[in-house]
Chains A and B, each alone.
Chain A
Amino acid sequence: MTRLDTLRGPAAPLDHNARTIAALAVNPGCDRRALLDAAGIDKQRTATHLGYPAPFGQSPFAITRAASFDALVKANGCAHLLRLLRDTLDLSISEASYSDISDVGGSDNHQVRHTRTRALLKRAASDGEGAGTLFDHPLLKLGVAGHQVYLEPAIIAFQIEGRFHVVEIKSFAVIDDQADAGQVAAAARQSAVYVYALRALFASEGLDPDRVSHDVVLVCPKDFANHPTATLLDVRQQLAALDRQLSRLTRIDRILDELPVGITFDIEAQSPDEAAKAVSTVDARFAPECLSSCEMALFCRAEARDSGSTDMLGRTARDELGGVESIPTALGLADDSRLPSPEQTEIAEQLRYVRRIYIEAVA
């Protein structure tokens, strides 16, 4: 049992998915999220246990709709998908092979499936012609904060003439060739995670990572009918951002080193108060963006509020207030009721200046 298992308690670990990694990358300064995710802890259940259930979550309707569209695209030997790939990427008729890696001989053990994913993709990449076209549910691994995590395999890896693409099936509609910009952007960020992980797999097998294309095949329902349509999505920008953000994450080992011994986040064994105390020992960096991306958001916001932390004000304001940690301190420096320490003199002067202008303006 590893240290991370102890933190989680007896519950089964949750897989990372592209959404969690994209969200993690949005707030790379937060050790709390990094650690909870690395340990595979169910943040939704934890937040609920602490009395701060997440303000969002996919509705059951959306989940059902997504699953049934996914099934439609893949039905009958991926009949729809093959048509789309033949139309958009000129896939030749003879390339129609399909391998499902959602289980290996009835076993859904992660290690087994990952090994099989590696073997199949490696064979497809090195054997050339006819060694595989569609690989459904490939189980990929990704190094996050110095820790290997499995990625929920919600994609198809697809090969055409030696080049590999990620195929992502999404159930938001494309109407008159237009889709909701926010949803496309989110899809691009998530697909980038898979491209990144697939490239990492190639590199570790001694294959050229650039054989994994930055063009992702996005499959969505067209207009209001359920008829699938495909578009190519260039995720180069998202890849670069992801790379930068992942490299900024604190290493999990270091976070673990700083934790008190014997601590656990097991919610079965602890009262909400005890669990809240345990969670609070790991540094968080709350930002308003958390509200739409992290299940712990309401808990962390309350905590930041209680401590008067400048995190509450958002990242820009916090950075501008460099060195001043709480809102009361900032206010105190501004109205001179508090003596600045040597490294605060500059920011104190600015705050006093802003206060003067503000008072003049409202007077």
Chain B
Amino acid sequence: MGPLILCGTVELDALEKRIAGLRSEIRAAKAAGDHATVRSLRAELRKTERAWDDALEPEPEPAKAPLLPVREQVHQALTLLGVPTAAKMIVTVNEAFFAGHITTSQLTSLRRDEEKSFRTSPYARPYYLCAALTSELLSPARGLLAVSTWPLPSRIIGPLSPRADFLTSATRIAEHIMRLTGAGEDASPSAYRLLTRMAQNIPGAVDGFDQADPAQVIAAAGAELAVHEESDTDERGEAARRAEQQLNEVTRLFGAGLKTARTA
């Protein structure tokens, strides 16, 4: 056994014993149907497990690392972007701007869980992470997450919407970087990398392989957006009206169609 582990062995042993003890207590409380105790024991267990992790590998904790639940981290990223977005982009934005650490796999069942929660007690939460709806069939658009409090047209995906939304999100990211620099902070290098990567696919948004300039990105994205905006807005508005008439409160958020769960 290496010296590294030896030094904390006594502490680790104690923690492991405590963890095992807590687990069986939780099982007992659960069997007895005592939910309040289960909850408090669970919290205690999580704390102990974290202590075990720390004892194993004492880490200089960056004390301000946010411990927001996954859905709140996703909400934060979506609020920055303002448009229905795929999991991968949500993760990237969360990392670049909020030093968050979620993974795409944590998002796979999110929409389904939110739908379940909404069905059991509608509007119990201030917002739900929900689906974007395809303009023609009002079915959930594959792989996109949106926020329930957004106006319905912005949750509709017509043929031009993927492009329009990409341009909008590039703009929002550039604006956020400018907000940060304006407030005397600076955005992380990964935020600039993200903006540059997006800018490379927008005509006139960046010169060669330079780092993108937020103001230039906003101008270029705006110019292209102006080309698509009218037909995109029309299509979304028309579909949103149809959705208001045809869908109920659940399907309006999570989409119509037979297999809502499968396409989540």
Chain A neighbourhood of B161, CB < 8 A: 77
Supposing A104-B137, A107-B258 touch, asked if A82 and B200 sit within 8 A by C-beta, the answer is: no
Q: Are A94 and B227 in contact (CB under 8 A)?
A: yes
What band does the interface of chain B fall in when counting residues whose beta carbon is under 8 Å from A?
Answer: 20 to 34
Would you give the shortest CB distance from A187 to chain B, in whole angstroms? 24
Do B259 and A107 touch (CB < 8 A)? yes
Interface positions, chain A 243-262, Cβ under 8 Å from B, are: none
Closest to B258 in A: A106
Chain A positions within 8 Å of B231 at CB level = 130
A278 CA to B100 CA, complexed, in Å: 59
Whether a CB of chain A sits under 8 angstroms from the CB of B165 is yes
User: Interface size bucket, A side?
Assistant: 20 to 34
In residues 150-183 of chain B, which contact A (Cβ within 8 Å)?
159-166, 169
- A109 to B202 alpha-carbon distance, docked (Å): 36
**Does A57 reach chain B (CB closer than 8 Å)?**
no
B200 and A83: CB pair below 8 A? yes
Q: B37: CB under 8 A from chain A?
A: no
- Contact between A86 and B203, CB atoms less than 8 A apart: yes
Interface residues in A15-52 by Cβ distance below 8 A to B read none
- Interface presence of A102 (CB below 8 A): yes
B89 partner, pick from A76, A94, A96, A104, beta carbons under 8 A: A76
Cβ A79 vs Cβ B227 within 8 A: no
- Is A206's CB within 8 Å of the partner chain B? no
A107–B139 alpha-carbon span in the complex (Å):
10
Shortest beta-carbon distance from B6 to chain A in Å: 39
Decide if B201 touches A83 in the complex (CB within 8 Å). yes
Q: When the two chains form their complex, are residues B259 and A77 in contact, meaning their CB atoms are under 8 A apart? A: no
Q: Are B137 and A105 closer than 8 Å at their CB atoms?
A: yes
Complex Cα gap A104–B160 (Å): 18
Distance, CA A94 to CA B169, complexed state (A)? 18
Near B by CB (< 8 A), chain A positions 289-339 give none
A82-B201, A83-B200 are known contacts. Are A105 and B227 too (CB-CB below 8 A)?
no
Q: Is A103 part of the contact surface with B, judged by Cβ < 8 Å? A: yes
Is B140's beta carbon under 8 Å from chain A?
A: yes
B-chain residues with CB within 8 Å of residue A105 when the two chains form the complex: 134, 137, 139, 256-258
Q: Given A102-B142, A106-B139, are A77 and B262 neighbors across the interface (CB < 8 Å)?
A: no
A310 to chain B, nearest CB (A): 51
A100 to B86, CA, bound (A): 15
Query: Which of A76, A80, A83, A133 has the largest number of chain B CB atoms within 10 A?
Result: A76
Q: Which residues of A contact B203 (CB under 8 A)?
A: 86, 93
A-facing mask of B105-148, CB < 8 A → 1, else 0? 00000000000000000000000000000100101101000000
Contacts of B217-258 to chain A: CB distance below 8 A: 224, 227-228, 231, 255-258
Q: Does B76 contact A (CB under 8 A)?
A: no
Total CB contacts across the A-B interface at under 8 A: 74
A265 to chain B, nearest CB (A): 30
CB neighbours (8 Å) of A79 from chain B are 163, 166, 198, 201-202
Interface of A is mostly: mixed
Q: Smallest CB–CB gap between B137 and chain A, Å? A: 4
Distance between Cα atoms of A97 and B159 in the complex (Å): 5
B260 within 8 A of A: yes
Q: Is the CB of B166 within 8 A of A76?
A: yes
Residues of B contacting A98 in the complex (Cβ-Cβ under 8 angstroms): 159-160, 162-163
Of the candidates A80, A94, A106, A132, which one forms a contact with B263 in the assembled complex, judged by CB atoms under 8 Å apart? A106
Q: Residue B88 at the A interface, CB < 8 A?
A: yes
CB within 8 Å of B: which A68-109 residues: 71, 75-80, 82-83, 86, 93-94, 96-100, 102-107
- B residues within 8 A CB of A82? 163, 201
A103 touches B163 (CB 8 A): no
Pairwise interchain contact B137-A77, C-beta atoms closer than 8 A: no
A189 to chain B, nearest CB (A): 30
Task: Note all chain B residues with C-beta closer than 8 A to A103.
Answer: 139, 142, 263
B259 touches A96 (CB 8 A): no
Known contacts A76-B201, A103-B263, A106-B257; A96 and B140 CB within 8 A of each other: no
Q: Whole-angstrom distance between the alpha carbons of A27 and B256 in the complex?
A: 46
Known contacts A76-B89, A79-B201, A80-B201; A107 and B257 CB within 8 A of each other? yes
Tell me the bound Cα distance from A325 to B165 in angstroms: 65
A 101-120 contacts with B by CB, 8 A: 102-107
Asked if residues B159 and A78 are in contact (CB atoms below 8 Å), the reply is: no
Known interface pairs A76-B201, A79-B198, A83-B201; A96-B260 also in contact (CB < 8 Å): no
A86 to B263, CA, bound (A): 31
- Listed A/B pairs (26) with beta-carbon separation below 8 Å: A75-B88, A76-B89, A76-B166, A79-B201, A83-B201, A93-B203, A94-B227, A97-B160, A98-B159, A98-B162, A99-B159, A102-B142, A103-B139, A103-B263, A104-B137, A105-B134, A105-B258, A106-B140, A106-B255, A106-B262, A107-B257, A107-B258, A107-B259, A130-B231, A132-B159, A133-B159
- The 9 A-B residue pairs with the shortest CB-CB distance in the complex, in nearest-first order: A77-B162, A106-B257, A97-B159, A79-B201, A105-B139, A96-B163, A105-B137, A77-B166, A106-B259
Task: Please give 11 more A-B residue pairs, beta carbons under 8 A apart, in addition to A77-B162, A83-B200, A105-B256.
Answer: A76-B89, A93-B227, A94-B228, A96-B228, A98-B160, A103-B263, A104-B139, A105-B134, A105-B258, A106-B139, A130-B231
